[in-house]
Amino acid sequence: MKAMHMATSSISYFTTAFVLLLALEYLGLDQLVIGSTTSCARNRCRPVRANDTDLIQFALNLEYLETELFLNAALGRGLDYINPNLTLGGPPPIGAQKANLDPLVRSIIEEFGYQEVGHVRAIITRLGGFPRPQLDLSRENFARLMDAAVGYPLNPPFNIYASSINFLLGSYCIPHVGLNGYVGTIPNLTRPDNRRLVASLMGVEAGQDAVIRALLYKFAFLKVYPYELTVADFTNHISWLRNELGRCGNKDEGIIVPETLGAENRTWSNVLSADWESLTYARTQPEILRIVYATGNESWPGGFFPRGANGNIAMRFLKNNIIADQNNLQEATKH
Ligand SMILES: *[C@@H]1O[C@H](CO)[C@@H](O)[C@H](O)[C@H]1NC(C)=O
Ligand SMILES: *[C@@H]1O[C@H](CO)[C@@H](O)[C@H](O)[C@H]1NC(C)=O
Ligand SMILES: *[C@@H]1O[C@H](CO)[C@@H](O)[C@H](O)[C@H]1NC(C)=O
Ligand SMILES: *[C@@H]1O[C@H](CO)[C@@H](O)[C@H](O)[C@H]1NC(C)=O
Ligand SMILES: *[C@@H]1O[C@H](CO)[C@@H](O)[C@H](O)[C@H]1NC(C)=O
């Protein structure tokens, strides 16, 4: 019953998103940005109150996601092979696999994968951790996200593991959101050593994001085989989807933009995505959950985390969800 309700809501969400997308494309990208910014409800975009441990452990969710995606794509095996201790007993990811990467991209992604192992270890040894959450890295999951991003079912379905470009486009979804989350977290940390840890994690996430975007930029105007869309089109669609799901305005831009979104209003190249002062956008934990769940709702798991993210902050929202369900049930049984 519950599952059916979710399935229909999810379809209607994406139908709405599709109609919106058509409207926004008709209006042009500049209108999109203005529209999303003004629709931002302030309380939805406020950071959560939590102690340093909870704030930093929250990031483990994304670090696990990146670890498994990169290691498996490059090596065909993940954390269970490299260092099973660091999974803290969490289940292996669904659908992770080796990607068909050229030697350059493969070596870069392998390095990124090991860097993420370091990040997981750095957080766990300093602040403790929680079991790796259930992750869905299946090509079907990425295909659904791409369909939602472009606004119609791609034919054939997008396969993130089919080529270097596809993998970079699929990965383009991820370090950027982690980076925004770290920028959002730092002001709310109380201890200097914790701020330093997060700044150091952020530096490497920013580097990964930059490398992925620069590799894509080189091919910005090429069509992504076998679709009619270029690499730049894909990045703009994915960034649009992330902004829609985050529900707090424009914090994400593709690699080619109108000049009003470029650095100092002077470039249409957008190798790095940043605000009007070229400062990195910040996202709160609920915004990140709304994006990685792909539901636009921090209390409604899905996307990369079919059973929800782990740790006190994510659990708070899942618990709200359960309480809301109980209230609904009580309401329903009254009548
Ligand atoms: C977190 O930091 C931001 C930016 O300094 C501030 O606006 C916000 O009130 C802080 N939130 C909490 C819960 O401390
Ligand atoms: C941080 O908050 C959580 C509750 O969300 C609590 O269980 C934990 O003990 C706190 N940790 C520290 C170091 O204060
Ligand atoms: C995993 O933990 C075991 C037991 O504590 C330890 O012997 C082993 O060296 C650890 N492995 C790694 C890769 O850290
Ligand atoms: C860029 O243009 C926008 C209006 O499109 C304006 O608000 C902003 O101040 C401009 N930024 C710079 C750095 O000139
Ligand atoms: C978010 O999802 C929960 C659980 O499905 C639901 O109770 C709540 O109404 C949703 N919130 C919004 C804003 O859609």
- What are the tens digits of pLDDT across the range 2-34? 333 333 333 333 333 443 443 333 323 323 333
Which residue CA neighbors atom 5 of ligand 3 most closely? Answer: 85
- d(CA 265, ligand 4 centre) in Å: 6
Quick: pLDDT tens for 73-128. Answer: 999 999 999 999 999 999 999 999 999 999 999 999 999 999 999 999 999 999 99
Q: Collapsing DSSP states into helix, strand and coil, what is residue 305?
A: strand
Distances 208 to 3, 20, 54, 195, 205 between C-alpha atoms, Å: 36, 31, 24, 20, 5
Q: What is the C-alpha to C-alpha distance for residues 182 and 161, in angstroms, rounded to an integer?
A: 28
* pLDDT-wise least confident of 29-33, 130-134, 177-181: 29-33
Q: Tokens for 183? A: 């920028």
- d(CA 41, ligand 1 centre) in Å: 17
- d(CA 216, ligand 5 centre) in Å: 35
Contact 262, 269 (CB under 8 A): yes
Which residue CA neighbors atom 14 of ligand 1 most closely? Answer: 188
Distances 177 to 134, 183, 212, 246 between C-alpha atoms, Å: 19, 10, 13, 10
Would you say how long the chain is, in residues?
335
Show the DSSP H helices in 28-163 as ranges: 29-38, 52-75, 79-82, 103-127, 139-150
Q: What is the C-alpha to C-alpha distance for residues 38 and 19, in angstroms, rounded to an integer?
A: 19
- The answer to whether residue 1 scores a pLDDT higher than 90 is no
